[in-house]
Chain A
Amino acid sequence: MLAVKNLHVEIDGKEVLSGLNLDIKAGQVHAIMGPNGSGKSTLAQALAGRDGYTVTEGSVRYQQHDLLAMAPEQRSREGLFLAFQYPVEIPGVSIALFLRTALNVKRKQQGLPALDAMDFLGLVRASMQQLDMDESFLSRAVNEGFSGGEKKRNEILQMLILEPRLIILDEPDSGLDIDALRLVADTINKMRSPQRAIVLVTHYQRLLNYIVPDVVHVLSQGRIVKSGSAALARELEKHGYGWIEAEAAAGQVA
């Protein structure tokens, strides 16, 4: 579904990703782990097409597309979804309007008629219940004055409604208490399907107790230095990132 080859990304002239390779198949869940500053979020944002994240080398194939040639909204319409680590506030724009607009863009793409406010409410209700969210949430402005947990739930709600094919979740567990974490993890697990791939970007192993990945990658200094099964995440939990980085450095020297 997603093939990243030798990806180099610069931000403000500084290289953050330096030759990253990644191959994700439909039906898989990949976890991208790594210490702070290793380039995890950069990878997530670059895949979504954020302005200012300049690709200097490499290629990304997504399904049949050259992902890098697509505008952010095209990537989204082709089913790429990024759950943001720090979702931004949009004052005065209600969640209902925002989400309905996004959904109707997708429906138009699929040749379906646009949903009006009432139909939309019917559709969104079940998803909100699943996430233990009150309906009044819909009339609040996007992320404005939201707690950390509310912001994350809002991202997950959008994921549920938009039914993407490739889901990239950037630290979906940060700021969540244990109950909310379970809820979010359950929801993500329910999204697992043979047609869909999920990329979990996370610093901690904690989340991976709830969502067991098929593949775990360790990112260090802008490239993937080690890949393995879910067991790798547990090793990292025990020993930290130091040993992998040392190993990687040694490998480079040799």
Chain B
Amino acid sequence: MSTATRQLDELIGREYSHGFYTPIKTDKVPRGLSADTIRMISARKNEPEFMLEWRLNAYQHWLTMREPHWANVRYAPIDYQDIYYYSAPKADKTGPRSLSEIDPELLRTYEKLGIPLKEQAILAGVAVDAIFDSVSVATTFKDKLAELGIIFCPFSEAVQRHPELVQQYLGTVVPYTDNFYACLNAAVFSDGSFCYIPPGVRCPMELSTYFRINAKNTGQFERTLIIADENAYVSYLEGCTAPMRDENQLHAAVVELIAMKGARIKYATVQNWYPGDKEGKGGIYNFVTKRGDCRGERSHISWTQVETGSAITWKYPSVILRGDDSIGEFYSVALTNHFQQADTGTKMIHIGRNTKSTVLSKGISAGHGQNSYRGLVKVLPSAENARNYTQCDSLLLGGQCGAHTFPYIEVKNPSAKVEHEASTSRIGEDQLFYCTQRGIAAEDAVSMIVSGFCKTVFQELPMEFAVEAQKLLGVSLEGGTG
């Protein structure tokens, strides 16, 4: 191995910095999964009958399903009876009403994570809904948003206070029959975020959810539902971390986005779940179903994701382009290091006329990391003049990692135009030497090169997230350089 490659390996071999554990008392439903577990979860949450029924139907369906194994990832079998499906920080009352009622230990955890839960939030203009293990701890700015008629609250609260909205939209984008993990989520999901933007309202701030898995052997099954009604606009951010543990932890989330006529939803994720150690021990299994439905004409949904964590990522944020002239976008940076595996990409389903989709995927592989892009572009017979542009670029650091591309294209309308471009490159010793010859330290040079590679995706992130994303990749910010 050359010096340059060694330097690269050292740089990317940094320790996970969010791997602390917060010792707080928790309320857990006993380990394992059965109809009783589900009844218990539902009862803890005081859910209306329709929710319990939906969960139980999902569970019955799940029993008939098999874990999928088509993805380009490898892992030992998961024992679904060895997982805690519900874990909540123990509280004396049913839920915290203000920040002062929240366990200070918990707040300190969020401070360590750098989440602007308190006053800083105002400056940052971010409304945060923080999910700790299975329940929402605090939602900032709720009142301010309420003035505009925006509902932004923990999912469990939405079930209590807006059951009609939940019942109307839940499972309409990702039905519980969709896939194994989505079905499991439907049965056992414990919390998540709910957001409704009324017609014509432009949400004045970035909405944000921060997920954290803390307890041992818990799965996190959160469910997010975002509805932008006619001509509404919302930008939503999601961040994730978890403590370091030797065991693998399961995270099977579902996110459903619904954009009505003329509405626009931007959904950005910075996912930094614990990726496992250098030998590949431990880490989160991130098996997530995310899908947006451009239900009305001229609606617009964008997914932007920066995936740097998790032992295994299995995730395909998709858009159903149902409305005429609707637009779907997917911008992704996925980094795999050590023994991480990622099989990620998107599905763009063109149904309406003049629908457009753009896919831009940047995969970075280092160490023994394996990175696959898997994408489907489907144009149905009704999708007159559909357009898709897909670009997949892979960057390899070091000689033991891998990059793979699996594009699937199904076109059933002859007027469609579908373009696909792919490239694979290696951080060259040439590039590194060019930078160091100009005095730039190798570490900064790698950051700069990787950041340059991801630039087109980072441009899609809100500013504060772009900063975090770049930090996550160990890079200095290229913003504002003219």
* Least distance between B443 CB and chain A CB atoms (Å): 10
- Pairwise interchain contact A98-B438, C-beta atoms closer than 8 A: yes
* One of A68-76, A184-192, A196-204 at the interface: A68-76
Contact with B along A82-105 (1 / 0, CB 8 A): 101001111111101110111001
* Least distance between B63 CB and chain A CB atoms (Å): 48
Residue of A nearest to B450 (CB): A92
* One of B34-42, B321-329, B451-459 at the interface: B451-459
- Pairwise interchain contact B434-A105, C-beta atoms closer than 8 A: no
Residues of chain B lying within 8 A (CB to CB) of residue A231: none
- Pairwise interchain contact B453-A92, C-beta atoms closer than 8 A: yes
Is the C-beta of A158 less than 8 angstroms from some C-beta in chain B?
A: yes
Is the C-beta of A48 less than 8 angstroms from some C-beta in chain B?
A: yes
Is the C-beta of A162 less than 8 angstroms from some C-beta in chain B?
A: yes
Is the C-beta of B481 less than 8 angstroms from some C-beta in chain A?
A: yes
Residues of chain B lying within 8 A (CB to CB) of residue A223: none
- Pairwise interchain contact B442-A92, C-beta atoms closer than 8 A: no
Residues of chain B lying within 8 A (CB to CB) of residue A138: 482
Q: B2: which of A52, A91, A97 is its contact (CB, 8 Å)?
A: A52
Q: A90-B431, A90-B448, A97-B448 are in contact. Are A158 and B453 (CB under 8 A)?
A: no
Residues of chain B lying within 8 A (CB to CB) of residue A249: none
- Pairwise interchain contact B478-A158, C-beta atoms closer than 8 A: no
Is the C-beta of A206 less than 8 angstroms from some C-beta in chain B?
A: no
- Pairwise interchain contact B482-A96, C-beta atoms closer than 8 A: yes
Is the C-beta of B102 less than 8 angstroms from some C-beta in chain A?
A: no
Q: A92-B454, A117-B480 are in contact. Are A76 and B449 (CB under 8 A)?
A: no
Is the C-beta of B98 less than 8 angstroms from some C-beta in chain A?
A: no
- Pairwise interchain contact A88-B4, C-beta atoms closer than 8 A: no
Q: A92: which of B444, B456, B480 is its contact (CB, 8 Å)?
A: B456
- Pairwise interchain contact B478-A94, C-beta atoms closer than 8 A: yes
**What is the size category of the interface that chain B forms with chain A?**
20 to 34
Q: A93: which of B439, B442, B452 is its contact (CB, 8 Å)?
A: B452
Residues of chain A lying within 8 A (CB to CB) of residue B436: 49, 71-73, 76
Is the C-beta of A50 less than 8 angstroms from some C-beta in chain B?
A: yes
Residues of chain A lying within 8 A (CB to CB) of residue B437: 48-49, 72-73, 75-76, 81-82, 84
| Residues of chain A from 53 to 84 with CB closer than 8 A to chain B in the complex | 71-73, 75-77, 81-82, 84
Residues of chain A lying within 8 A (CB to CB) of residue B428: 88
- Pairwise interchain contact A72-B433, C-beta atoms closer than 8 A: yes
Residues of chain A lying within 8 A (CB to CB) of residue B92: none
Residues of chain B lying within 8 A (CB to CB) of residue A121: 482
| Residues of chain A from 138 to 182 with CB closer than 8 A to chain B in the complex | 138-139, 141-142, 158, 162
Is the C-beta of A51 less than 8 angstroms from some C-beta in chain B?
A: yes
- Pairwise interchain contact A93-B451, C-beta atoms closer than 8 A: yes
Q: B3: which of A51, A81, A89, A117 is its contact (CB, 8 Å)?
A: A51
- Pairwise interchain contact B451-A101, C-beta atoms closer than 8 A: no
Q: A93-B452, A101-B448 are in contact. Are A73 and B482 (CB under 8 A)?
A: no
Is the C-beta of A8 less than 8 angstroms from some C-beta in chain B?
A: no
- Pairwise interchain contact A93-B433, C-beta atoms closer than 8 A: no
- Considering residues A49, A71, A76, A90, which has the most beta carbons from chain B within 10 angstroms of its beta carbon? A90
- Pairwise interchain contact B455-A88, C-beta atoms closer than 8 A: no
Q: B482: which of A72, A89, A117 is its contact (CB, 8 Å)?
A: A117
Closest 8 CB pairs of A and B: A92-B452, A93-B452, A76-B439, A92-B455, A102-B438, A72-B436, A88-B430, A105-B439
Given contacts A51-B433, A52-B2, A73-B441, 10 further A-B contacts (CB under 8 A): A72-B433, A81-B437, A88-B430, A90-B448, A91-B452, A93-B448, A94-B482, A105-B440, A117-B480, A142-B434
Name A's B-contacting residues (CB within 8 A): 48-52, 71-73, 75-77, 81-82, 84, 87-94, 96-98, 100-102, 105-106, 109, 117, 121, 138-139, 141-142, 158, 162
Q: What are some 25 contacts across the A-B interface (CB < 8 A)?
A: A51-B2, A51-B3, A51-B429, A52-B2, A71-B436, A76-B436, A76-B438, A82-B437, A88-B431, A90-B449, A92-B451, A92-B452, A92-B456, A93-B449, A93-B451, A94-B482, A96-B481, A97-B448, A97-B481, A98-B435, A106-B439, A117-B481, A141-B452, A142-B434, A162-B438
